[in-house]
Structure 1
């Protein structure tokens, strides 16, 4: 791929992230409250960030580290950190674009443009699911680009535009890692290297991505003849050497996810069989529809069944006030699914009737994304580009928020280790 082409798509992705809220010009997703606070605290405080009352900032910080370091290095500037993060995100998405094009061996300009558009607009047919859900007699969340039923069942898989606007830290690193995995599925010697970046950048994605890696490894170990070679590759120097780093990060994060929180923010098992109509609609519009049309092409690939089983099971487990474990945890599997859809569509075009089905589901998802984009543009025009009404700047720091009963409960508990000086991470760090 030519440098000029990469530069062009970097500029396009940069503009996309500006449109999505980077640089504080356009209307921002609510999660920008968190992005501002974490980024600015990383610029302001020494690392690791320690607040008053013995509270440690504890979050998957991977996507923030480089922009915050640049802001800290260049005059402790929040503005430099903010725009650096926009550039950093654009670089990451450009890498994803190049990897997908290389994996699919895309040559023509229109197919490359298609990859660009699909990376932004791909998603499930959530709006179709809402209409069907209402049609069978339920109070659906019509007009939402996130939820089918946000009033009773907090389960959703974020479309690409929605995720990139508000939760880019959950998207970019998992996509890059999945792109490498798809080209090197049987290279077990790099499995820990593939998973580790997600642990510090997208912990929810890490949970389910590790499931994919372990399932692939276990299947190959059971079915391949040369088991010694598989085991030898698995216990490579790279894998073994990275395990201690993984343990340190896990200890650091454990202060958050093992800390005391309100019960409704913790782990929970959801009985989807009691909501069977919702569950069947949800899985059909979000991924099963795509996978039905991919079945003939992928039926001999064990990864297809691993992805299917994982996505079927994810809605049964809940974590967090808005169940981000579901919406973010499914991102690695759905990226692989998206690449498969592009691959089949580019291979056969509309000569294959199955690709009509893929195209129809994609169009419903794209309408979802376009609705979100239209709302962003309209609100920004009404407010004016750069107007403070576009911004999510309630939290310029998390100092004083931990355990605070006067703030929303997820903001009071999601980002911290309480009494951190007594925590194992601190005791290890002192040594």
Structure 2
């Protein structure tokens, strides 16, 4: 078993949901996705850029892979998967999506005030667990979800550990975050509606009114459906800079990961554009590149499905918000001091790391100017791949022997202060009482969270807007009942405002 086999295995887990999704589509889009699945895996498995002498051709270190997978399992369990520990608010909606997909034929439909709606969202993380749940029950679906996610994250950790300075770099990446303790201190002091209890429950990273760049642990605890494809694409970018994979592999992986998170793939798309612009002859004249384009295009039915009525989702230009300039500059200063650290030590970076730093620093500086999603999901999700790559370069620089003593001290100060967000997440999930997962539908969960019959437009779309050529009719519309979904939760009693949207991260 080679390291290339691990790349193929993780790719199967990421691509398979689109293949199973194809079973619920009309013939033409279903065949397109099947070709995309097979073609993508062939292109990834057929990569031979190092004449079978590179890292991917080497035998896999199975003991290290097992340790990485065990580490991933612990992180995800503590983060709330299977509800053995306290699970963050987002899991109350996420559990509802999984329950709906277990209990109903796909596409899942709902009846709200006489209107027929269909579940339209990035469902990649839920598809395989929901299929297992249909045969063995909802508990089996949750166990399958944890198993799937642990295998993917374990593979990611394995590559990040072996592409750098070993376990110490991986540790820095897992603890990586901004100086959110400073941001929290400011808002708790000067903004009356922010209390320490609210910050503790919602997490330190939610301190800013407009934006959020989530620390690594927050990503794993709150949004593994976005974090897993984003971290995987970051690992592939790193493999590409070392000559182990090519643009075709990244391109088809972007297409395959789209069903998991259409926003998390954006930095990888920018990286592909950068490669095409800076070395067009090598990339655009390669036959594999164009085969990659053809295979990636086969995933277009997924793109169509997820962008149906996307204009109904909140969006806009954030620069039009009050006090944008001051709030933006303060946000960047608090969340991205690592960019200044890397810029001041740029002479220590390799050519490849300089490119990674420049491209992703630009992405992170520009993202806050735009808004998309109920709580600006674009900034939160679209930043994950870039944050992962910056964390990798930061950790690499921190352990360079040429780094000055002063710079090393400053770097470790950033690590210690940046880990405050991770510490808050772990302490909260250990100290707060756990609750059982629910079989409520998504509309029942929205109502139980205080949203009434408000339609979560990032999850549901009017069924009439789904093209006739795309999907089958699906299940009969499901009506929501007014019931309490969790014995522990009452949004009025908790003293927290009802969320403006199903997800708060």
Band the TM-score falls in, shorter-chain normalisation: 0.7 to 0.9
Is 1:164 aligned with 2:220?
yes
Bigger shift: residues 246-255 or 164-173 = 246-255
TM-score normalized by the length of structure 2:
0.71
Is 1:213 aligned with 2:272?
yes
Aligned-partner Cα distance in 2 for 1:102–1:410: 47
Is 1:275 aligned with 2:320?
no
Aligned-partner Cα distance in 2 for 1:281–1:267: 21
Is 1:427 aligned with 2:469?
yes
Q: Which of the numbers 451, 466, 486 marks the counterpart of 1:407? A: 451
CA, structure 1 residues 250+193, in 2 after alignment: closer, same or farther (shift >3 Å)?
A: same
CA contact (8 A) 1:206 1:329 kept: yes
Query: 1:267 aligns to what SS in structure 2?
Result: strand
Residue 5 (structure 1) aligns with:
64
CA contact (8 A) 2:107 2:119 kept: yes
Aligned-partner Cα distance in 1 for 2:410–2:173: 19
Aligned-partner Cα distance in 2 for 1:246–1:319: 23
Number of residues of Structure 1 aligned to a counterpart in Structure 2: 398
Bigger shift: residues 306-315 or 296-305 = 296-305
Gaps of 5+ in 2: 1-59, 474-505
TM-aligned CA deviation for residue 15 of structure 1: 2.4
CA, structure 1 residues 120+131, in 2 after alignment: closer, same or farther (shift >3 Å)?
A: same
Residue 419 (structure 2) aligns with:
366
CA contact (8 A) 2:229 2:265 kept: no
Residue 257 (structure 1) aligns with:
310
Aligned-partner Cα distance in 2 for 1:279–1:179: 29
Is 1:183 aligned with 2:226?
no
CA contact (8 A) 1:129 1:148 kept: no
Is 1:35 aligned with 2:78?
no
Residue 387 (structure 2) aligns with:
334
CA, structure 1 residues 165+66, in 2 after alignment: closer, same or farther (shift >3 Å)?
A: same
Q: Which of the numbers 111, 128, 132 marks the counterpart of 1:70? A: 132
Query: 1:157 aligns to what SS in structure 2?
Result: coil
Deviations 1:318-376 (A, max 9, x none): 12221121111100100000111121223338754323222211211212211221122
Aligned-partner Cα distance in 2 for 1:90–1:302: 30
Is 1:120 aligned with 2:164?
no
TM-score normalized by the length of structure 1:
0.82
Residue 25 (structure 2) aligns with:
none
Residue 129 (structure 1) aligns with:
183
CA contact (8 A) 1:21 1:165 kept: yes
Query: 2:265 aligns to what SS in structure 1?
Result: helix
CA contact (8 A) 1:403 1:413 kept: no
TM-aligned CA deviation for residue 241 of structure 1: 2.7
Query: 1:174 aligns to what SS in structure 2?
Result: helix
Deviations 1:64-103 (A, max 9, x none): 122222222x33x110010111111111111111010121
Q: Which of the numbers 96, 102, 108 marks the counterpart of 1:49? A: 108
Residue 157 (structure 2) aligns with:
97
Q: Which of the numbers 292, 297, 303 marks the counterpart of 1:239? A: 292
CA, structure 1 residues 160+306, in 2 after alignment: closer, same or farther (shift >3 Å)?
A: same
Deviations 1:145-176 (A, max 9, x none): 344754xx221111111121111001011111
Query: 1:359 aligns to what SS in structure 2?
Result: helix
CA contact (8 A) 1:175 1:335 kept: yes
Query: 1:417 aligns to what SS in structure 2?
Result: strand
Aligned-partner Cα distance in 1 for 2:211–2:79: 23
Is 1:58 aligned with 2:58?
no
Query: 1:55 aligns to what SS in structure 2?
Result: strand
* Backbone CA RMSD of aligned residues: 3.1
Query: 1:61 aligns to what SS in structure 2?
Result: coil
- Structure 1 or 2: more helix by fraction: 1
